[in-house]
Amino acid sequence: MTTPLPQTLVEKLTLLGGQLPAYQSFGHLPTPLERMDRLFPRNEGPSVYIKRDDCTGLAFGGNKTRKLEFLIADAFSQNADTVMTVGAIQSNHVRQTVAAANKFGLKAEAILVDMVDRDDADYRHSGNRFLDGLLHATVHSCAMKDAGDTIRNRLDELRNAGHSPYFIPGGGSNAVGSLGYLVAAFEMTEQAASRDMKIDHIIHASSSCGTGAGLTAGFALMDQKPTIHAVHVSADDQEGMANTVSTLARETLDLLGLKSPPPISPPTVHTSYFGTAYGQPTNAMKESVLAAAQQEGLLLDPVYSGKAFAALMDLTKNGTFRKEDTVVFLHTGGAPALFAYEGEFAES
């Protein structure tokens, strides 16, 4: 029997949900939890499952949909008429944020930051960038060094024009957004319990830390201790990411107003799979994308889930997991970015 959602969280969900017109949940939840039998055959190693958060709906889906359920509700609670967010040119988060804004009649503004050293037409105009235009986002482009000023200036312009903007940080990774993955921890636990199994390890791609923070907070509430493996896709900074996830997890729990919040266990952070820089392909990523596509019919993305899946395959091969372990790979979505990296796979 699984632990029910705490009453304080139920009340929080009800409060935020009441801010949205005809709102219950706009994500396609719960997402499937599927066994990967071809890449990870039964009786040859740990039991490996994939949590299909690429199937959350909202313009090709992805992990940001869960966060946006709370963030858009919070925007309505503040009487916002405009949502602004920030991300890289091929940002999955920007795509999903604009889609959510459209769904509820909010104006959408996106600050696209030139974070990746790529000038090819595919990267600049295809994939998520094409979808941003199709979704009719108002886009502002800037260099990395100018991002802060561009955000502040545009927020001021909107306010001066009589708008009420609500700013969502990159990745939707603040305490409000992280509530989405706090709930996801309960969802995964219930799915596992229905199959009479316990999750020992969870692997996911991480950069802005909101997904890992929500999972960390959720499993802490249930007093469960699966090892959460955060595969860093943007820096070689294990300690920094672990601290950020832990801090954000505590802030997420603080939103629930608990008298005695549970202790937080930091994730295991892996930094050896991101390569030379954020958004730059690696051979291991390409191999994992091809393997998932050709043996499991799964589409991963080159920036996030592809690198995390490379970690899953490597950790499984090198004996990190016991044969009796149950491992869950959290698919965070991002398949539209494949079209922006078509040249990387041309010979394959």
- The pLDDT value recorded for residue 11 is 56
Residues whose CB is less than 8 angstroms from the CB of residue 35 and which lie 6 or more positions away in sequence, other chains included: 47, 48, 49
The residue with tokens 């952070």 is 269
Task: Dump pLDDT digits (tens) for 82-121.
Answer: 999 999 999 999 999 999 999 999 999 999 999 999 999 9
Q: Which of 109, 138, 172 is the last residue of a domain?
A: 172
Q: How many domains does the chain have?
A: 2
Residues 156 and 191 in one domain: no
Give the span between the Cα atoms of 198 and 4, in whole angstroms.
16
At 10 the pLDDT is 55
Dihedral, 289, 293, 299, 302 alpha carbons, nearest 10: 10
- Asked, for residue 143, whether it belongs to a domain, the answer is yes
Q: Residues 50, 142: one domain?
A: no
Domain shared by 310 and 285, yes or no: yes
Residue 1 in domain: no
* Domain match, 43 and 97 both: no
Q: What is the pLDDT of residue 20?
A: 37
Among 121, 143, 172, give the residue marking a domain's end: 172
Residue pLDDT, tens place only, 194-234 = 999 999 999 999 999 999 999 999 999 888 889 999 999 99
CB neighbourhood size of 11 (10 A):
12
Q: How confident is the model at residue 254 (pLDDT cuts 50, 70, 90)?
A: confident
The domain containing residue 134 runs over which residues? Answer: 64-172
| 276 and 221, same domain (yes or no) | yes
Whether 33 is in a domain gets the answer yes
Q: Is the pLDDT score of 252 beyond 60?
A: yes
Whether 233 is covered by a domain: the verdict is yes
**Same domain assignment for residues 210 and 320:** yes
The two three-digit tokens of residue 244, written as one number: 């950020």
Neighbours of 322 (CB within 10 A): 12
Task: Residue 152: give its domain's CATH number.
Answer: 3.40.50.1100
- Confirm whether 210 is domain-assigned: yes
- Whether residues 57 and 191 fall in one domain: yes
Domain assignment of residue 312, yes or no:
yes
Active site residue 206: no
Q: Are residues 196 and 241 in the same domain?
A: yes
17-26: burial string, b at 16+ Cβ within 10 Å, e else: eeebeeeeeb
Q: In the prediction, which pLDDT does 14 show?
A: 53
pLDDT of residue 286: 97
Q: Please, are residues 193 and 219 in contact by the beta-carbon 8 Å criterion?
A: no
β-pairing, 47-52 vs 33-35, is antiparallel
* The predicted structure's pLDDT at residue 171: 97
Compare 223 and 340 and report the one with higher pLDDT.
340
DSSP letters, 168-226, are E-GGG-SHHHHHHHHHHHHHHHHHHHHTT----EEEEEESS-HHHHHHHHHHHHTT--P
Q: Which whole number is the average pLDDT over 322-340?
A: 97
Q: How far, CA to CA in Å, does 94 sit from each of 61, 106, 285, 306?
A: 12, 14, 23, 19
The answer to whether the beta carbons of residues 342 and 122 sit under 8 Å apart is: yes
Q: What's the pTM? A: 0.93
Which candidate in 47, 91, 206, 208 is catalytic? Answer: 91
Tell me if 305 sits within 8 A of 270, measured CB to CB: no
Q: Among the three residues 123, 150, 172, which one is the final residue of a domain in this structure?
A: 172
Residue 2 belongs to some domain of the structure: no
Residues 36 and 87 in one domain: no
Q: How confident is the model at residue 24 (pLDDT cuts 50, 70, 90)?
A: very low
Q: Per residue in 159-189, pLDDT tens?
A: 999 999 999 999 999 999 999 999 899 999 9
Residue with tokens 């949940």: 25
